[in-house]
Structure 1
Amino acid sequence: MTREGVLTILGLETSCDETAAAVVRRHAEESGGFRGEILSNAVFSQIREHAPYGGVVPEIAARAHIEHLDGLIVRALEEAHVGWDDLDAIAATAGPGLIGGVIVGLMTAKGIALARGLPLVAVNHLEGHALTARLTDGIAFPYLLLLVSGGHSQLLVVEDVGRYRRLGTTIDDAVGEAFDKVAKMMHLGFPGGPAVERTAKTGDASRFHLPRPLMGKPGCDFSFSGLKTAVRQLIEAQRIEAEGELTDQLRADIAASFQATVADVLADRVAHAMEMANLPEGSRRFVVAGGVASNQTLRARLEATAAERGYDFIVPPVKLCTDNGAMIAWAGAERFAMGMEDGLDISPLARWPLDPTAQAKPGAGVKA
């Protein structure tokens, strides 16, 4: 075991299409604070496996996790220069996510915990994203969080480890899913988010006006289903007008117009959330996490929104915005430091909201 005040945690992430293992350390400081340290962060991306289908295929993802997870665990330990006896606990994503993948990671962690006599910490995948800024920037509670990814669009006040107050969520599709679907409509490739962003760089964002769902409405919920439909209708109309496939410039202009629309909607919803959160001046910190946080156009717009309202703007490094093992290891370390651990009878969950008291939104799918 490590020296007093230092926790060394192995974390496993298998909730979607990244297989990941990482080792992190949480250093307790005499002042009562803490410091995070990433010793290793091994990720296997399954993009090639899913690209022919234009999206993530759950069965393929689960098989890939089975094939690669053991090797990634060995690699994570070797790169961290630690052995099994140096670990204080093992953490694994227990949900939400594609249930086949979640089972692979959680069962692997259970086996290791049993064989090595290590405590097990079951981590909510969303909590991994929510706490990443504490690992990278050491920020204190509370803070406002925008969690945006392929499966999730939420605004929450992060009050403490395990304490989250949801202010708004999507009533239909997540913003990352909208990016993926728009990319698929224009044959831009997979994953869709980076493909749309690349295409939009040479486009005219003012060429096409698209609807901005819920913009200006009370609250801070999201809706992207109607926007996707509007983009599909725009693409079909432009194909008819062009008498064939879209030109590269048309694709770029549509992508740029769509991206600018999403930026407007996110900025509006975030501004409302800042009013609803009503955080005191010393706690006005705004964190953006999740895969969509790597989009530079959206980041710039959200940073400007934060600055206008006196909020510090914090985004983890790009490699920690997408799914990774370090965020799971860190969330496990945060929980374990508070005396939280789980039995080997813990079950994997396809749905697991961060704020269980929040009312489910009508029409919302499995993206809790």
Structure 2
Amino acid sequence: MGALRQWASTLGFSQIGVAHVDLSSAEPGLLAWLARGFHGEMHYMASHGLKRARPAELVPGTVRVITARMDYLPASVPPGWQAMEFDRLKQPDVAAVSLYARGRDYHKVLRARLQKLADQLAGAIGPFGHRVFTDSAPVLEVELASRSGLGWRGKHTLLLSREAGSTFFLGEIYVDVPLPVTEPESVHCGSCRACMEVCPTQAIVGERQVDARRCISYLTIEHAGPIPLALRPLMGNHVYGCDDCQLVCPWNKFAQRASLPDFDVRPALDQPTLLGLWRWDEATFLRLTEGSPIRRIGFARWQRNLAVAMGNALRAGEHAAMREALQQWLALPPLNGDDHALVAEHVQWALAQISR
């Protein structure tokens, strides 16, 4: 394990562990979560069934899972970053984009480096069966990470570490080699309920239970249709993801800065305003989000999210330029029927907030 840890560190990973593949004790919880419909429109969660909790069914021959942590907090973020992010949320005309999404798409970064780690292991022990994942397949990432000692599942369902809070990505290598397993971490949340209480939409419905249908990250990223009317006013200026439950978590005073430049903040996403982002056309959106996780939601959802945030800003006070920009958009000829209808409904809602 010593050599494996050294290779991982050189590749930018902060910590690795090794887990057993018997996750049978996690199956009842997964089934109950699906039965309550908490996965929303993420139909792939249900279609994969228990394969998510059975690594050897997903990749036949798997007997161990190497888990890896990679910190993403941008190196430029100063001390006191949580308070600064909360201040951003109090400024209605400013756009709030999740910290993890301000740089390069983590899928691309982790997958390539996990494969390099597997190649180095193969160079030491000989060829072996393996497959790498990072939020890209039916994998119980947090469950595997907690069982391998990378941290514990917080009440917001994210993995928490005493060394790094929760500002990190997880990746896995399924292997057919019986590597020695690492010991799990105990839970250190105690009676703290800060994450549950701060959630704007009250999506954390119980300890380690999230109703994705109410989660702002789900609504702005995974959800394809109209955002429910009752939830729009609660979303504030969030336009891509939500970090509130992480910002309030005491453990994130230990959050580690990223060692890779990939997660540095892009200039276009450094202190962006709602009006500035709304003025992007689709070509600008595609150019400025190239290689970014934001690009995968598409231009229509991006505009939908911005319209909701602008509506909340208009309700909070007079923003003449914002109102004018929305009205001008409605006057333009539609370019795509379905996408235009989706955005138009949210723009109309936003303008209706002026009189509220």
When you count strand as a share of all residues, which structure comes out higher? Answer: 1
How does the TM-score come out when normalised to structure 2?
A: 0.24
How does the TM-score come out when normalised to structure 1?
A: 0.23
